[in-house]
């Protein structure tokens, strides 16, 4: 039979009863298989998730972090809210579990959550075991290796706590007994009074890292088990409540901060942790808020200072805008007043026009009959005129037709002449054609003779000459061209190499020249001294066009020392900030530079530079303290300004800011009378109260005159430092040497390449001579080829002439005969004669018709003249009768024209005013509407008063100015505008934008201060709750801890270490084990292992009475203790854990000293280990086994 471990329990209760539960493997297997069918598999991830929770903090109201579960929010996703009592509330979804110190104890002595029964199957060293712990101290004892610590592992894993809290294997399947495929842990926990117990089983598999749970026989998830542990306040993950063997060293190594948090979780008020979390989170938040407020206030002060600097310009801008507003309003009021005047004139002229119109109509009716007869005459005259014009038109048309017939006849006559001319020229053309035919026949005969001529003697074959030339060319290629091409390639390679060497030489020379340049060296130095200023210089050089006037680079860059002997003295006059200052010549450029650089618009938020601008005139700068003659008499060489070169616009900065024109310098300090110099520079000059700086030798003298009392003179001296910035920068020697070596190397390479090129040129000359021989042979062949070509060209030209003349001869012979053309032309001549005869007959007929039409036209003209004479006579008669009517009509017409003119002007003014009003800005339009409403109401009141005959209303507050007065006012305002200083809109926009930013930032600061105040209140409330409760808890634990150390002849003390950061509050454990020592902080390195174990168990004992967990466990804590300490610890532990109000406690130990104290409430569980263990039930009760042994051996009774 294989070896099996077992557990026996021994109770010191009065009746001596021992309770042991043991079951057979077969019975247990049946129950296990039945439960397995309903179990649901939990993944390994769930255990890892629980591991994170167990090592993390416990949230408010006992809720552990639920990160990774389907329900609840991730820890830290929101800051914990603070209620009115300063308690923090997390944002998880798990239900709140109210924790008391411990849940009420049941009648059987067990506290809800304590362990009633443990059963293990194939777990680590156990095949099978079941035992029942007592409700108070349970001492588990047995030799090493028997499986005592496995019980601690079973408790942790069976209640779904992660393997990591044990400090052993990290995989669940590692806890299955070797050789077994599966196992389980079953733990029965005491339930809440009035309810049943909770039986939790965790099934393990050797082949899988996952496991399954059942709760009271029903399948359950790991989260459900976790939730049950929260309800029962089981704290296996807290080292203060559950200290496995492999975690003892970790307890001593815990930081004081960790110890404080673990102690809060294990004992005292259940709200300590949530109060502490509130203080930590709120404290961090308050620090962040205070820093933000500080940064915002700094930014606010900077913005306010900048706005104050341009406030006067903004004020002038607003004054100018006010004037512009008045001008705009006047430019509206003037045309409105003009329209109002025009409207009155319009009404007057309309009444006058109506009156004159009525008068003219009366006179018109009186002369109506005569005018009626005159109209009839005029109608008759018009009709006669129309008839006369029609007849004249017909006559003109007939004359046009006659002219056309005449033109047609003339054209036919011209055609007849042309035909006669062509008949005469036909004979001449025929003679010319015959002459050309004879000429072409002669040319054709000559060409045939030329073609038949024999070629010259000795003429060679063209193909043979071509082959001879090709042979010579091939010989030349072999003897000359191939070598020439090779030399060309070599020459090209040499040229490329020489070009590369030349380029390297030029590049090195350029680099040497560039690095030897003072500006480049200064830029390089500035990049090392101040990278931000270096970036700004480079940006300024690219963006000078953004500024109205030149912006000067820092004096470091643009100031040069004339005489190098004065470098130390001159540089000592500058501060570091002054050497790096960018100087502008107007405030607008200063604002632009600050906006682009210091406000982070172009180079980023982190870039800051020094900028400077002051209004400058000669009267605002104090003059030099001494004249030139007096300065030389005292022994000075000159003023610092005399020894530098600088841009003209930089003078204001050097005088007003650096005072170089007031700083006298003497290189030889022995020549200077210091007392005379002090008296000279301390004199008040030009409004200056006196005082200046002078340098004599290597000493700087800063002379000041007191402004109070007797105005005594004081002199503060310091040494002139060695100049570092205004010195002429020199090139890096190593770089210079490297560049010079590169230049020399390139030169040597070029000399070598030139020598090789000369050798190639010599060989080319030899090849050229050979090539000339071949060229002479080719020239001779080409000459002979030309003779052949000339003969071929002669034959080709003769053949071409022959073919061309034959074609021309053929064309001449193919032309038609002259007799046929003559016959055709005579027929055409006959046709033209017949057409001319027909036209003559038509022309005669049309002449007769024209004579008749002209006669009728004359008659109608005479009739028209008679009617016109009658109308004229009657018209004169009407005029004499209508003189009065005409006069009235003229007056009416004049009035009507004036009326129309005024009307047009009024309408135009009205339309212009409407357009002008529509285009007005809102503020100007509103001001106009107010003025117009008052004026309209006043005019209405005046009209009513005039109609009723009452007094006129008061004109106070009514704008009654005339057009002339308004125009005068407009000129006045325009004059003011011309005298007003023009401010750039960008300055105002910047001011207004910054003003809005200031208001917004002020509101932000106010809100942040309010929020900070709220956070301070929450911190104060939480601290008022947390600190007294913590001090009370630590005081209680510390009292018991110190008493325990006193009992073993040592000293121990527990203190709270406070800190401004609440996450750094800590519990310090101080111990002293020897009289010669002082109290020392407990650490993982300072004390021995036994001392750490003793301190740990005494701290845990002191914590026990305050603990909230239903059970606690310590494993082999007495290792390394001496017997005295171990005995005292054991006796104290029995006393503390066996009190009536004590919770369940497990003490695992491999050994016990003799004569220890025991208590009737404690229970001793012995782990038996052997080769053979019986399988019968109830054999695990040791008292029964002892009694049976005594009976069998005769020693049962005495």
In this structure, what token pair is assigned to residue 314?
A: 């903004």
- Most confident of the following: 414-428, 437-451, 630-644, 871-885: 630-644
The pLDDT of 274-281, averaged and rounded, is: 86
Average confidence score pLDDT of the chain: 78
**What is the distance between the alpha carbons of residues 1112 and 241, in angstroms, rounded to a whole number?**
5
pLDDT of res. 28: 42
H-helix or E-strand spanning residue 341:
helix 311-366
Residue 34 has pLDDT above 70, yes or no: no
Q: For the residues 406-418, what does the mean pLDDT come to?
A: 81
- Residue 968 contacts by C-beta under 8 Å, 6 or more apart in sequence? none
Average pLDDT in the 556-584 region?
A: 91
User: Tell me, what's the pLDDT at 59?
Assistant: 37
The torsion defined by the Cα of 618, 624, 625 and 626, in degrees rounded to 10, comes to -130
Q: pTM for this one?
A: 0.39
Q: How many angstroms separate the Cα of 811 from the Cα of each of 439, 806, 815?
A: 14, 9, 7
Whether 1197 has a pLDDT exceeding 70, the answer reads no
Pairwise CA distance, residues 981 & 320, whole Å = 8
* DSSP β-bridge partners for residue 213: 40, 220
Taking CA atoms, 387 is separated from 329, 374, 856, 866, in Å, by 68, 20, 10, 14
- Indicate if the pLDDT at residue 1198 is higher than 60: no
pLDDT at 729: 62
Among 1170, 1165, 1171, 1189, smallest CA distance to 130 is for 1165
Q: Among 35, 9, 3, which residue's Cα sits nearest to residue 22?
A: 9
* Mean pLDDT (whole number) for 695-699: 91
| The pLDDT value given to residue 204 | 92
How remote is the C-alpha of 249 from its chain's centroid? 52
DSSP assignment of 432-496? HHHHHHHHHHHHHHHHHHHHHSPPPTTPPPHHHHHHHHHHHHHHHIIIIIHHHHHHHHHHHHHHH
Confidence of residue 555 (pLDDT cuts 50, 70, 90): very high
What 3-state DSSP class applies to 235? coil
- Those residues whose C-beta lies under 8 Å from the C-beta of residue 80, and which sit 6 or more positions away, are 59, 60, 88, 89, 90, 91, 274, 277, 278, 281
Residue 127 per-residue DSSP state? E
CB 299 within 8 A of CB 1001: yes
The three-class DSSP label of residue 262 is helix
Q: Which of 232-236, 460-464, 816-820, 1144-1148 has the lowest mean pLDDT?
A: 816-820
What is the SS3 assignment for 814-828? CCCCHHHHHHHHHHH
Euclidean distance between CA atoms 477 and 673, whole angstroms: 96
Supply the pLDDT for residue 465: 79
Query: 182 forms bridges with which residues in the sheet?
Result: 205
On the question of pLDDT at 221 being above 80, the answer is yes
Report d(CA 154, CA 122) in Å as an integer. 11
3-state secondary structure of 690: coil
**Residue 1053: is its pLDDT beyond 70?**
yes
Strand-pair partners of 1053: 1070
Q: What's the rounded mean pLDDT across residues 835-860?
A: 80
**How confident is residue 983, by pLDDT bands cut at 50, 70 and 90?**
low
Instruction: For residues 509-529, give the mean pLDDT.
Output: 77
Contacts of 995 (CB under 8 A, 6+ apart): 307
Dihedral sign computed on CA atoms, order 226, 230, 233, 239:
positive
Residue 212 pLDDT > 90, yes or no?
Answer: yes
| % of residues, the chain, pLDDT over 70 | 85
How would residue 63 be classed by pLDDT, with cut points 50, 70 and 90? Answer: very low
pLDDT band at residue 184 using 50, 70 and 90 as cut-offs? very high
Query: 672 versus 52: which is more confidently predicted?
Result: 672
Query: SS3 helix, strand, coil % of the chain, rounded to 5?
Result: 60, 10, 25
């Amino acid at each position: 039979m294989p070896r099996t471990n077992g557990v026996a329990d021994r109770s010191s209760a009065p009746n001596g009863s021992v309770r042991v539960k043991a079951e057979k493997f077969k019975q247990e297997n049946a129950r296990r298989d039945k439960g397995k069918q309903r179990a649901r598999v939990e993944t390994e991830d769930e255990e890892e998730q629980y591991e994170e929770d167990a090592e993390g903090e416990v949230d408010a109201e006992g809720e552990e972090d639920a990160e990774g579960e389907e329900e609840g929010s991730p820890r830290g996703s929101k800051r914990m809210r603070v209620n009115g009592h300063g308690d923090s509330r997390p944002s998880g979804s798990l239900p709140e579990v109210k924790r008391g110190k411990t849940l009420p104890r049941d009648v059987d002595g067990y506290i809800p959550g304590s362990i009633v029964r443990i059963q293990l199957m194939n777990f680590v060293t156990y095949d099978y075991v079941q035992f029942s712990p007592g409700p108070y101290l349970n001492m588990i004892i047995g030799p090493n290796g028997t499986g005592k610590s496995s019980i601690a592992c079973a408790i942790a894993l069976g209640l779904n706590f992660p393997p990591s809290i044990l400090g052993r294997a990290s995989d669940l399947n590692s806890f299955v007994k070797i050789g077994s495929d599966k196992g389980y842990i079953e733990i029965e926990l005491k339930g809440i009074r009035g309810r049943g117990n909770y039986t939790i089983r965790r099934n393990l598999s050797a082949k899988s890292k996952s496991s399954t749970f059942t709760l009271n026989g029903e399948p359950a998830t790991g989260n459900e088990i976790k939730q049950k542990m929260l309800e029962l306040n089981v704290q296996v993950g807290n080292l203060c409540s559950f200290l496995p063997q492999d975690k003892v060293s970790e307890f001593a190594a815990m930081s004081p901060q960790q110890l404080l948090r673990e102690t809060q979780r294990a004992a005292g008020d259940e709200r300590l942790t949530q109060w502490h979390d509130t203080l930590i989170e709120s404290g961090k938040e308050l620090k962040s808020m205070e820093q933000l407020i500080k940064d915002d206030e700094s930014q606010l002060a900077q913005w306010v200072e900048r706005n104050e600097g341009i406030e006067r310009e903004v004020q002038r801008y607003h004054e100018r805008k006010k004037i512009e507003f008045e001008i705009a309003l006047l430019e509206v009021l003037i045309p409105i007043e003009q329209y109002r005047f025009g409207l009155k004139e319009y009404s007057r002229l309309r009444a006058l026009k109506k009156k004159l119109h009525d008068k003219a109509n009366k006179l018109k009716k009186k002369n109506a009959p005569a005018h009626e007869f005159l109209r009839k005459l005029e109608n008759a005259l018009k009709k006669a005129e129309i008839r006369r014009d029609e007849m004249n038109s017909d006559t003109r048309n007939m004359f046009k037709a006659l002219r056309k017939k005449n033109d047609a006849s003339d054209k036919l006559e011209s055609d007849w002449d042309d035909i006669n001319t062509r008949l005469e020229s036909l004979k001449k053309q025929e003679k010319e054609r015959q002459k050309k035919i004879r000429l072409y026949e002669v040319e054709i005969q000559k060409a045939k003779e030329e073609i038949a001529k024999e070629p010259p003697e000795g003429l060679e074959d063209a193909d043979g000459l071509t082959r001879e030339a090709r042979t010579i060319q091939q010989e030349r290629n072999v003897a000359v061209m191939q070598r020439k091409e090779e030399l060309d390639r070599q020459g090209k390679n040499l040229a490329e190499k020489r070009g590369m060497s030349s380029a390297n030489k030029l590049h090195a020379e350029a680099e040497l020249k560039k690095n030897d340049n003072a500006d480049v060296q200064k830029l390089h130095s500035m990049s090392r001294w101040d990278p931000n200023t270096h970036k700004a210089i480079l940006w300024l050089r690219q963006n000078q066009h953004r500024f109205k006037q030149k912006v000067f680079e820092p004096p470091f860059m643009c100031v040069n020392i004339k005489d190098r002997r004065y470098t130390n003295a001159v540089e000592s006059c500058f501060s570091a900030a002054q050497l790096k200052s960018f100087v502008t010549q107007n405030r607008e450029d200063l604002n632009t530079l600050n906006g682009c650089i210091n406000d982070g618009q172009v180079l980023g938020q982190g870039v800051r530079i020094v900028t400077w601008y002051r209004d400058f005139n000669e009267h605002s700068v104090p003059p030099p303290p001494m004249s030139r003659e007096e300065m030389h008499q005292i022994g000075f060489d000159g003023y610092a300004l005399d020894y530098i070169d600088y841009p003209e616009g930089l003078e204001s900065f050097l005088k007003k800011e650096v005072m170089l024109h007031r700083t006298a310098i003497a290189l030889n300090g022995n020549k200077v009378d210091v007392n005379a110099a002090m008296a000279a520079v301390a004199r008040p000059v030009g409004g200056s109260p006196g005082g200046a700086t002078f340098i004599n030798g290597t000493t700087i003298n800063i002379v000041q005159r007191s402004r109070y009392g007797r105005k005594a003179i004081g002199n503060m001296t310091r040494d002139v430092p060695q100049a570092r910035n205004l010195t002429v920068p020199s090139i890096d020697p190593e770089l210079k040497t490297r560049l010079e070596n590169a230049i020399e190397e390139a030169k040597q390479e070029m000399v070598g390449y030139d020598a090789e090129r000369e050798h190639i040129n010599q060989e080319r000359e030899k090849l050229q001579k050979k090539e000339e021989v071949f060229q002479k042979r080719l020239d001779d062949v080409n000459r002979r080829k030309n003779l052949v070509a000339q003969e071929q060209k002669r034959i080709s030209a003769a053949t071409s002439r022959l073919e061309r003349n034959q074609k021309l001869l053929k064309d001449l012979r193919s032309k038609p005969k002259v007799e046929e053309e003559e016959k055709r032309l005579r027929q055409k001549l006959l046709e033209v004669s017949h057409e001319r005869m027909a036209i003559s007959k038509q022309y005669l007929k049309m002449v007769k018709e024209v004579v008749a039409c002209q006669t009728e036209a004359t008659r109608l003209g005479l009739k028209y003249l008679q009617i016109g004479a009658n109308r004229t006579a009657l018209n004169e008669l009407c005029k004499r009768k209508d003189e009065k009517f005409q006069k009235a009509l003229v007056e009416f017409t004049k009035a009507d024209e004036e009326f129309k003119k005024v009307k047009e002007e009024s309408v135009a003014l009205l339309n212009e005013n409407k357009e002008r009003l529509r285009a007005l800005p809102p503020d100007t339009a509103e001001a106009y509407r107010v003025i117009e409403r008052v004026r309209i109401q006043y005019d209405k009141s005046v009209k009513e008063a005039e109609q009723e005959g009452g007094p006129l209303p008061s004109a106070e507050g009514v704008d009654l100015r005339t057009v002339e007065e308004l125009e005068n006012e407009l000129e006045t305002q325009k004059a003011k505008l011309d005298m007003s200083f023009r401010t750039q809109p960008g300055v105002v926009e910047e001011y207004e934008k910054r003003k809005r930013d200031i208001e917004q930032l002020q509101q932000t600061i106010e809100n942040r201060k309010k929020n900070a105040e709220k956070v301070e209140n929450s911190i104060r409330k939480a601290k008022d709750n947390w600190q007294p409760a913590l001090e009370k808890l630590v005081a209680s634990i510390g009292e018991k801890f110190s008493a325990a150390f006193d009992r073993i002849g040592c000293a121990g003390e527990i203190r709270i270490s406070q800190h401004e950061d609440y996450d750094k509050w800590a519990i310090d454990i101080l111990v002293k084990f020897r009289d010669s020592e002082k109290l020392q902080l407990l650490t993982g390195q300072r004390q021995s292992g036994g001392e750490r174990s003793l301190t740990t168990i005494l701290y845990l004992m002191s914590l026990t009475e305050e603990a909230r967990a239903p059970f606690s466990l310590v494993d082999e804590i007495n290792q390394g203790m001496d017997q005295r300490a171990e005995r005292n610890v054991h006796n104290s532990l029995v006393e503390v854990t066996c009190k009536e109000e004590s919770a369940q406690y497990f003490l695992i130990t491999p050994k016990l000293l003799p004569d220890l104290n025991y208590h009737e409430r404690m229970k001793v569980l012995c782990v038996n280990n052997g080769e053979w263990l019986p399988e019968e039930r109830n054999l695990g009760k040791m008292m029964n086994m002892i009694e049976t042994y005594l009976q069998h051996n005769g020693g049962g009774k005495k």
